[in-house]
Structure 1
């Protein structure tokens, strides 16, 4: 699976980074971004939780 953060919707709440720090991090503008092209199979559950927890629906599963 792949995930992508829409920077126009991200409000930098940090929920995704708290849930899945191995998949998300802060970029230079202080917004979240996906640090991996492909989510490792053993991290897919936390990636899905991050997608569901995003208050602005900025994270999309591709």
Structure 2
């Protein structure tokens, strides 16, 4: 019985002692990745719009 309580307490302490930095780093990676994707998508659509504008001016 005592060993079971110690095992449960040790498991509880391990959960409380989890390092949150892995989640913080993951959040930054997701945030920066999404920002980079949005910037690249914006550049692509901007160049496509400029190309269509130039083609319309030539007509």
Question: TM (normalized to structure 1)?
Answer: 0.23
1 or 2, which has the higher strand percentage? Answer: 1
1 or 2, which has the higher helix percentage? Answer: 2
| Structure number with larger C-alpha Rg | 2
Bigger relative contact order, structure 1 or 2, given CA contacts below 8 A and separation 6+?
1
